[in-house]
């Protein structure tokens, strides 16, 4: 087994809202191996996007990070802003959800992609232009030379997402972070973009962390899956294990709430809402929505429990092997 490219240890990201510290990420530990894809699954407000942005340290003012994020033997959180700048878009790149608002409306798409190269390397203008055209071809944009001269609003959503991916690839980074990269697209385009990601990963041998709320995307892409709920990882492991034998009641609920081929009848819902980050309960954050919850769940946060094959979950139910076996059978 190869060593992890990126290792996140007990990451806590807090925001200061009206003088009060509010945690959005509450102690997340994850790692990704070279050339693999980690999918972070969770509903909106689970802290998954903030976690992803914490890796790059592109957070709003007043955000405070603690724990450690190890990349190439260094803790990213200790780096100066200038060192971070050299890392961003160069060794670690990011693809955002909404490609329209992710681009400056007043600059041509080609310029914005070329800018990513220009900010990190000194190349003559013509070299950069050629590179941008090559990248556009690589991500499957038809007539790339002409498209570099378009403005963002002149492109379709799919083309725009492709050019945002081209932008992220422009310095052949080690790690690609993608924040809901297909959510804003319709289904056929989604499938195209996902297969583009796979193709890129094959060609570049790139490591990917993909954040999504869509189990379909996770099934398609993940080598490993981390399920996040209320700022914590509640289940983490090999994709097959997590999807095939979900150990945490939340993951089970998520899977049960997803339509599946060949299955009829009403979809199950997870009742209730995730807790607001300003009013986090003391025990397990999922307790109020969990049908297996006990007094103990409400009072104490369950620790991470190792299951077979590196599979891990944070639930008291799984501590007693009995209950787990029951849950899996259901």
Partner 1 sequence: MLNFLLRRIVYMIPTLLGVSFVVFMLIQIVPGNPVDALLPPEASQEAKENMIRDLGLDRPLLLQYMNWLGKVVQGDFGQSIIKKYSINELMGEALANSMLLALASSLFSFFFAVLLGVYAAYRPNSWVASLGNMLAICGISVPNFWGGLILMGVFGIMLGWLPPMGMTSMGGGGFLDVLAHLVLPAVAAGMVTLGTMTRMVRSNVYELLNQEFVLTLRAKGARPITILLHVMKNATPPILTVAGLQFGNLLGGSVLVETVFSWPGLGHLIYQGITQRDYPIIQAGILVISIFFVVLNIIVDALHALIDPKVQRV
> Contact positions toward partner 1, by CB under 8 A?
56, 58, 60, 84-90, 93-94, 96, 98, 101-107, 115-116, 119-120, 151, 153-154, 164, 167
Closer to partner 1 by Cβ: residue 53 or 232? 53
Q: How many CB atoms lie within 10 A of CB 234?
A: 25
Min dist CB 247 to partner 1, Å, is 34
As a whole number of angstroms, the distance between CA 162 and CA 136 comes to 8
User: Are 242 and 227 in contact, with CB atoms under 8 Å apart?
Assistant: yes
Min dist CB 138 to partner 1, Å, is 18
Closer to partner 1 by Cβ: residue 97 or 251? 97
Closer to partner 1 by Cβ: residue 119 or 223? 119
Min dist CB 230 to partner 1, Å, is 24
Closer to partner 1 by Cβ: residue 62 or 282? 62
| Angle at 191 (CA atoms; ends 185, 192), nearest 5 degrees | 90
Min dist CB 276 to partner 1, Å, is 22
Separation in Å, CA 127 to CA 117, 122, 151, 164, 319 = 10, 10, 21, 20, 59
Among the listed residues 127, 209, 130, the one whose alpha carbon sits nearest the alpha carbon of residue 168: 209
As a whole number of angstroms, the distance between CA 48 and CA 255 comes to 18
Separation in Å, CA 125 to CA 119, 147, 183, 326 = 12, 17, 34, 64
Closer to partner 1 by Cβ: residue 84 or 307? 84
Min dist CB 261 to partner 1, Å, is 35
Closer to partner 1 by Cβ: residue 165 or 239? 165
As a whole number of angstroms, the distance between CA 122 and CA 139 comes to 24
Min dist CB 199 to partner 1, Å, is 22
Among the listed residues 249, 326, 232, 243, the one whose alpha carbon sits nearest the alpha carbon of residue 288: 249
Min dist CB 140 to partner 1, Å, is 21
Closer to partner 1 by Cβ: residue 13 or 251? 13
Tokens of 168: 């992220």
């Amino acid at each position: 087994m190869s060593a992890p490219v990126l290792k996140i240890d007990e990451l806590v990201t807090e925001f200061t809202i009206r003088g009060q510290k509010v945690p959005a990420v509450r102690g997340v530990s994850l790692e990704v191996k070279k050339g693999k894809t980690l999918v972070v699954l969770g509903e909106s407000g689970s802290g998954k996007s903030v976690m992803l942005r914490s890796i790059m340290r592109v957070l709003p003012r007043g955000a405070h990070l603690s724990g450690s994020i190890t990349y190439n033997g260094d803790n990213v959180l200790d780096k100066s802003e200038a060192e971070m700048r050299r890392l961003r878009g160069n060794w670690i790149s990011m693809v955002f959800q909404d490609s329209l608002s992710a681009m400056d409306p007043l600059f041509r798409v080609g310029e914005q992609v070329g800018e990513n190269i220009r900010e990190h390397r000194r190349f003559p203008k013509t070299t950069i232009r050629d590179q941008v055209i090559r990248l556009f071809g690589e991500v499957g944009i038809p007539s790339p030379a002409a498209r570099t001269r378009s403005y963002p609003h002149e492109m379709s959503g799919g083309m725009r997402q492709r050019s945002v991916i081209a932008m992220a690839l422009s310095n052949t980074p080690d790690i690609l972070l993608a924040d809901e990269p297909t959510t804003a697209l319709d289904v056929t385009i989604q499938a195209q973009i996902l297969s583009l990601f796979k193709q890129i990963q094959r060609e570049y041998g790139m490591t990917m962390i993909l954040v999504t709320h869509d189990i379909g995307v996770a099934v398609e892409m993940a080598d490993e899956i981390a399920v996040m709920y209320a700022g914590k990882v509640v289940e983490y492991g090999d994709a097959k294990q997590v999807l095939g034998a979900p150990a945490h009641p939340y993951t089970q609920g998520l899977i049960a709430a997803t339509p599946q081929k060949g299955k009829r009848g009403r979809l199950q819902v997870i009742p209730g809402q995730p807790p607001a980050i300003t009013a986090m309960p003391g025990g397990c954050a999922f307790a109020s929505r969990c049908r297996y919850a006990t007094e103990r769940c409400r009072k104490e946060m369950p620790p991470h429990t190792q299951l077979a094959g590196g599979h891990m979950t944070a639930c008291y139910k799984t501590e007693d092997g009995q209950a787990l076996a029951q849950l899996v059978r259901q």
